[in-house]
Amino acid sequence: MTKEVLLKVDTLDVPVRIVREHRNSIRFAVGKSALLVRVPHFLSDREEERQMERLQHWAHQQFRRHPNIRERFQPFQYKTGDELRVGTRTYPLHVTFEDRASHRASLKNRDIYLTLSEMEHPLALAKATRRLLSRVVAADFLPEIRKRVFELNDLYFQQPIQDVRLKYNSTNWGSCSAGRNINLSTRLLFAPDDVRDYVIIHELAHLVELNHSDRFWKLVSEVMPDYEEKEKWLRKNGHLCEF
């Protein structure tokens, strides 16, 4: 069982994900978008509250020792006049807040218009804004990305493709479904062209081998012998590929 709460650490409201599972110990960790607390499933509510006090102290120490972790939970919000740069494209932003329950985004020429709820919590607002920007930019880039996927497929694989999809995904760079859909994360739009090509080639190879067997990696290396350099770039710079 999992539940999410907010914990005040210094001046920040930090999301906490509490996971009850079959274990005898308690473990704290820093996740990508929340603090993680793994506790025994039989833990009492009173003991859970005590662990939240321990977590607060632990998180304070982590933030002090590792400022980059603290920055992860510092809400960032775009404002009118800001520009979003994605590859060679620049999108001027126009941001307004309204007394509304939902958010809206639209693209006119290269200008992005965001209408945001003034009632939203800053952390939730930052997350919603990233996804709105991703969705608008994805629609602008999709024809170009789709064309490149089919070009690389025709050159090296000649496999049937059902569809190409470009959407926000923070857990992986791409995937290939059993239905022969190539799914790519919009975060790849911030990566160099050759790195983006690597991910496309990786997913196209899955149309032949839907696994990571030796045969799969042989297919990838035959097309892109230096693919490991692209993987290294993603590991080192992936955190910079974000809206």
Domain segments of the chain as ranges: 2-72, 83-139, 141-240
Tell me how far apart the alpha carbons of residues 137 and 106 are, in angstroms, rounded to a whole number.
Answer: 10
Residue 206's pLDDT band (boundaries 50, 70, 90)? very high
For the domain made up of 141-240, give the CATH fold.
Zincin-like (3.30.2010)
∠ CA 155-159-163, nearest 5°, is: 105
Answer for the pair 149, 164: CB distance below 8 angstroms, yes or no: yes
Tell me the per-residue pLDDT of 23-54, one tens digit each, with 9 for 90 and over.
999 999 998 778 999 999 999 999 999 999 99
Nearest to 4 by CA among 31, 40, 25, 22: 31
Beta bridge partners of 84: 91
For the record, the structure tokens of 35 come out as 């603090």
Question: H or E element: which one contains 4?
Answer: strand 2-9
Nearest to 9 by CA among 35, 40, 44, 38: 35
What is each CA distance from 35 to 123, 144, 167, 240, in whole angstroms? 14, 38, 25, 21
pTM of the model: 0.78
Residue 176's pLDDT band (boundaries 50, 70, 90)? very high
> What's the whole-number mean pLDDT along residues 212-231?
97
Tell me how far apart the alpha carbons of residues 104 and 129 are, in angstroms, rounded to a whole number.
Answer: 9
Neighbouring C-beta atoms of residue 165, cutoff 10 Å: 17
